[in-house]
Structure 1
Amino acid sequence: MPSDRQNTERPDFERRLSGALHETGAAFDADRSALVAAGTARGRRLRRGRRAAVLGSVAGVALVGVGGALVVADGGSSDRSPASVTGTPTPSGASSPAPVTADRMISTLEALLPAGRFSKAEGRGVDRNEPLVAPYAQVVYDDGHGAAAVSVTMNRVAPGGYDARQAVRCPDKVYTPYDSCVTSRLPDSSVVTVVKGYEYPDRRVDTKLWTASLVTPDGHHVSVSEWNAAAEKDAPVSRDRPPLSAGQLRTLAAAREWRGVVDAIPKDPRQTQEPPIAQDDGTALRHTLTSLLPAGLKVVAHGADDDSQFTYLVVDDGRGRSLVQINVQPDMSDVAGQLFGAGSETLPDGTLVAARKAPGEKGGDGVVMWTVDTLRTDGFRVVISAFNSGSQETAATRTAPALTLKQLRGIALSPQWRR
C-alpha cells in the first residue's frame, strides 16, 4: 500500500497488515511519527477519499479479523439452531432483506463447519443504522485434534475497484511473510485467495493464521480466518495447524449463505461508488528509482502498489540485502507544519527537507531505518527510506543500509520525480 507503507508509526490500519511507514525529521519529538502518519494517510485520501487510510505491509489481503476496527463484538446467545442467514422473505414490495442477527451468523458458521465441538461463540449481525460495521461470527472449534479459533466476516466492495482487487491479492513477502498463497476463480467468476501465514510476521510465537478471502462479481466480500490456537493472540498453540484445509477454507468462504448477509447490509449513502480501475504496477516509479541508484547496487527484488504513489526495491551491493522504499505524493502543503518541525531544513527554493536515523519499527532484530522526507513549495512530497535488511520482518543483514543519508537526499530531491 503506497503512502501508507512509507514513513510513519501506524495510526489506523490494524486489520492485520501493519505498515512500513515511519517517523521523519532529525530532531523530531516523540509525537512526530504520528504526525507523519497523518500526513501520509491524508495523501492517500486525496486519491481515494472514501477509504480509510491503511498502513500495511502489503497491500495484500484485506482481512478483517474479529479484533479489527470494523468488527464490534456484541456476543452470541443460546439459540444455536442452524438457519440460513438470509432470513425470512421480505414482504411484497419491501426494499430490503430481513434482518440478520448475531445468532444466525453464529449458527450458520457452526452449521457450515465439519462436525465438532463449539464454544466461546460470539458475533454481530447486520445493523441497518451502522452499514460500515461488518457482520461477523467467531467460534472456538474442536474437531478432536485441539481447539482452534475460526471466524468469518463480510462486507461490500465496489466491483472491480481498489478494495475488491486488494482483498484477493497475495501479500508481498517483503512485508508479510507466509508459506503459500493460491488464487483461484470459481465457476460463478468469484475470485478467492487462500493464504497460509502466521499471526505474528516475525514468528515470535508460532501461531498459524490461514485465511480465505473471496470477492464476487457483485461486490460480496467474505473473509474466513482460522488459527491453530483458541484465540488469534495471547493463547497457546493447541495443534500443529489450523483445522480446515485450503479446500475447506475456500468452500466455507464461497458458501451461498454469506451472500445473503452482504445483501442485507444497507448501502452507505455517504459512500460514493468507486469505479473500476486499471492496475498500475508502478513501473514508471520503479524505473525512476532504479535510475537514481548509486553505481554498484544490484536490484534483487521489487514491488509496488496500485495507486502508483509507492514502490520499493531490494538492493544488494555485495554486503547484504537492503530494502529501499519511496512515496511520491502531490498536494501535501497543508500538512507541512506537521511533517517538518524543529531540525528540518529549508532550501533556497523553499523545499523542506527532514532526515532521520531510527530503529526499524517492525521488530526485526537489529534493523534500522534511514529516512529523508522532502516537500516542495507546491505540496509535492517525496519521502524515501532505506533499511539494513531486505525486509523489516527479518533480522539485519548488514550494519547499515546500502544507501547513505546523503544518497537518499539526492534521490528524494531529484527533478525526475516530476515526470
Structure 2
Amino acid sequence: MSGTDEDRDREAFVDGLGEALQIAGETFNVAGGPLVDGGVVRGRRRLRRRRAATVTGSFAALAAVGFGASYAAGAFGAEAEHGSPVAAQPRPGSTTQGKTSTPGEGPHFPASHLIKTLEELLPDGKFSSESGRGTEGELGPLASVVFDDGKGKAAIGLSLGRVDPEGTRVAEQLACPEKDYTPYDSCSSKKLADGSRLLLLRGYEYPDKRADTKWWHAYMVTPEGFIVDASEWNAPAEKGEPASRDEPPLSTAQLKALVTSKEWRPILRALPKPQDEPVQSLAPQATGGETILKNLTSLLPKSAKVSTRQGEDGFAYVVVNDGKGASLVQINVQPNMSDVEGELFSSGAQTLPDGTKVVTHQGPGEKGGQGVAMWTVDTIRKDGFRVLISAFNSGSQNTPATRTTPALTMTQLKAIATSERWRG
C-alpha cells in the first residue's frame, strides 16, 4: 500500500469511527443527558439526554432510540498514544453514575500492546490505520485497525472499561433494541458459563439503511464489571466510506471469541474500580419510566389508542392510532436543565404566565423515513424542569409515513408538555 493510500485509510477510519464513538461517549455517564442523532438505541440510546444543541437536533433520538455504535464514553479527537487522533471508546467507570478513582490491581499497558493484542486475536490478514490508547490515559484503553482479509477493508474497534456490574445501565446496554426504532438482522443477549453477560448484534449503521454499511457489535460485562466492547463494519470507516464488502469480516462466533478472550484480562485488571456518586435528581418519582408512561398515556386524547409503549428513566414513547394510521409519540422529562435554557429557549420562545418557556417546531423527521414529519414542543420551567415531546406521522422514524400528519396536534402536544402532572 502506498503512503497516500494508507493516509487516506487512516483519515477515513479515524473520522468515521471516531464520530460514532464520540456521539455515544460524550455523556453516557451523565444522568439525564440529551439526545443523540440518528441511529442509536440500547448501545447509544440512553446517551446524550442531558445537553442538546438545538430543538430539532435534540429530539432526534430522545434517549437514543436508534442503534449504532455502543461505545460508552470517551473524547472525540483525543490524541492516541500511537500518534494520531483516535476513535473514542469507553473510559473506565464511564458507564456508572459516578467517577472512577480507586486504583486498578495490575500493571499498566501502552497503546501498542492493545493494538498488538487485537491484531493477534483477529484472523490472518493485513492491517493498516492502527490507533490506540493505553490503560493510563484518562479516557480509557482502546485499539482500532483497518483489517483486510483479502475480501475488502473493514474497520474494527475494541475498547475496555469497568462498571458496576449490577448497575441499571449495564442491563440496558445488554438488552436488544426495540425494532420499532432499530432494524437489525439478529440480536442475542445471554449469560455465559463464567457469569459474564454478552450481547451480540448484527445491525446497520443507519436505521433507514440509506447506505450499505453494516455494523456488528459485541458487548460483554464480566461478574467483576469489566467490559470488553467491540464493533466491526463492512467498510474501512464507520461513516464516509462506501461498503467494501458484503459483510463485516468477523462472524458472530468470532466476535464472541474476540471479546471473551482471556488475553484481555491482564489489561482489564489495570483499570480502576468505579466509585459511585449520588445522582442529582429533582423528583425521581416524576422521571422514572413507568411514571412517565403513566402520565403520558393519561394525557393523550381519547381517540389515540395506544398499541406500543416503552418507558425508561427520563424517557418514554408510545405508538398510537386514532383510526388514521400509526403515530409515534415520544417524550423526555429532564430536571435541572437551566444551564441549557439560553441555548434552547432564546429567540422565538413563548413565555407563559407562570414563567414556563415554550419552543415549537414542525419539520421533516430526522431518521430518513420517507415523508415522515416531526412536530415538537419543548418546554422549560423557571426551575429548569424540562419536558420535550414530539409526535410523528409514522409508527417509527425509520419507516415511511403512515398518515398525513401526526395523531396529536401542536395544541395537544403543548398541553401535554405543560401539564402540571409532570410535577406531581
TM-score greater than 0.5 by the shorter chain: yes
Does residue 1:100 correspond to 2:109, yes or no? Answer: yes
Which shifted more, 158-167 or 294-303?
Answer: 158-167
Q: Residues 408 and 39 from structure 1, CA distance in 2 versus in 1: closer, same or farther, beyond 3 angstroms?
A: closer
Q: CA deviation at 1:410?
A: 1.4
State the shift of 1:191 in Å.
0.5
Rounded Cα–Cα distance in structure 2 between residues aligned with 1:67 and 1:197:
23
* Counterparts of 2:43 and 2:77, CA distance in 1: 12
C-alpha separation between the residues in 2 aligned to 1:232 and 1:61?
Answer: 10
Contact 1:71 1:136 in 2 (8 A): no
Output the aligned Cα RMSD: 3.9
Larger radius of gyration: 1
Matches within 5 A, 1:31-180: 34=53, 57-58=64-65, 63-64=70-71, 69=76, 72-75=79-82, 97-114=106-123, 116-128=124-136, 130-142=137-149, 144-180=150-186
C-alpha displacement at 1:292, in angstroms? Answer: 1.3
More off after superposition, 147-156 vs 177-186? 147-156
Displacement of 1:98 in angstroms is 3.1
**How far apart, CA to CA, are the structure 2 residues paired with 1:18 and 1:71?**
23
What is the CA distance between 1:282 and its match in structure 2?
1.7
Partner of residue 288, structure 1: 295
1:264 alignment partner, SS class? coil
**Stretches of structure 1 lacking an aligned partner (at least 5 in a row):** 23-31, 41-53, 78-93
Change (3 A) 1:352 1:238: closer
Which among 211, 217, 234 is matched to residue 205 of structure 1?
211
**Residue matched to 1:374:** 379
C-alpha deviation, 1:406, in angstroms: 0.6
Q: Aligned partner of 2:143: which letter?
A: Y
Counterpart of 1:386 in structure 2 is 391
Q: Which residue of 2 aligns with 1:300?
A: 307
Q: Give the TM-score normalised by structure 2.
A: 0.74
Q: How far apart, in 2, do the equivalents of 1:273 and 1:359 lie?
A: 40
1:397 aligns to what?
Answer: 402
From 329, 348, 351, the counterpart of 2:353: 348
In 1, Cα distance between the equivalents of 2:402 and 2:120? 48
SS at match of 1:396: coil
Aligned mates of 1:179, 1:358 — CA distance in 2: 30
Q: Which runs of 5+ in 2 are unaligned?
A: 1-27, 85-102
Residue identity in the other structure for 2:203: G
**Stretch of structure 1 that moved more, 350-359 or 287-296:** 350-359
Higher relative contact order (CA 8 A, sep 6+): 1
**CA separation in 2, counterparts of 1:147 and 1:58?**
29
- Cα separation, 1, equivalents of 2:114 and 2:376: 46
Is the Cα contact below 8 Å between 2:219 and 2:259 reproduced in 1? yes
Q: Secondary structure at the match of 2:53?
A: helix
199-208 or 358-367: which moved more?
358-367
Q: 1:147 to 1:381 in 2, by over 3 A?
A: closer
1:189 Cα deviation (Å)? Answer: 0.9
Task: Note the C-alpha offset of 1:385.
Answer: 0.9
Distance, in Å, in 2 between the alignment partners of 1:186 and 1:314 is 35
Post-superposition Cα deviations, 1:213-239, rounded to whole Å, max 9, x if no partner, equal 001121211111122233323333333
- Cα distance change, pair 274–185 in 1 and its aligned pair in 2 (3 A): farther
CA contact (8 A) 2:82 2:133 kept: no
Corresponding residue number in structure 1 for 2:319? 314
Partner secondary structure for residue 158 of structure 1: coil
- Which residue of structure 2 aligns with residue 243 of structure 1? 249
Structure 1 residue 339: deviation in Å? 3.0
The change in CA–CA distance for 1:18 and 1:332 in structure 2 (over 3 A counts) is closer
Aligned length: 368
Separation in 1 of the partners of 2:70 and 2:289?
24
> Which residue in the other structure is 1:415 paired with?
420
Identity of aligned residues (%): 47
- Superposition deviation, residue 398 in structure 1: 2.0
Q: Please tell me whether the aligned partners of residues 196 and 223 of structure 2 are also in contact (alpha carbons under 8 angstroms).
A: yes
CA distance 1:71–1:152, shift in 2 (3 Å): farther
Q: How far did 1:193 drift?
A: 0.2
- Pairwise CA distance, 1:373: 2.1
Partner SS, residue 394 of structure 2: coil
Alpha carbons 1:71, 1:133 under 8 Å: kept = no
Alignment of 1:330-341 (within 5 A): 330-341=335-346
Task: Compute the displacement of 1:146 (Å).
Answer: 3.8
Query: Letter of the aligned partner of 1:344 in structure 2?
Result: A
Cα offset, 1:186, TM superposition: 1.0
- Structure 1 length as normaliser, TM-score? 0.75
In the alignment, is residue 185 of structure 1 matched against residue 191 of structure 2? Answer: yes
Q: CA deviation at 1:36?
A: 5.3
Q: Report if aligned partners of 1:76, 1:103 keep a CA contact under 8 Å in 2.
A: no
Q: Judging changes above 3 Å, is the alpha-carbon distance between structure 1 residues 141 and 185 closer, same or farther for their aligned structure 2 residues? A: farther
Deviations 1:232-260 (A, max 9, x none): 23333333222322222112111111122
2:234 corresponds, among 209, 228, 231, to 228
The Cα of 1:341 is off from its aligned counterpart by 2.3
Provide Cα deviations, 1:333-386, integer angstroms capped at 9, x if missing partner: 454443322332222333322222123233333322111222333433222111
1:282-336 CA-partner distances (Å, limit 9, x unpaired)? 222112211211122222222222x2x1101111223222111112222334544
Cα drift, residue 96 of structure 1: 5.4
CA distance in 2, matches of 1:55, 1:293: 19
The answer as to whether partners of 2:44 and 2:71 remain within 8 angstroms in 1 is no
CA contact (8 A) 1:333 1:378 kept: yes
Q: CA deviation at 1:275?
A: 8.2
SS of residue matched to 1:364: coil
Q: In 2, Cα distance between the equivalents of 1:21 and 1:388?
A: 25
CA separation in 2, counterparts of 1:312 and 1:14? 13
Offset, 1:203? 0.8
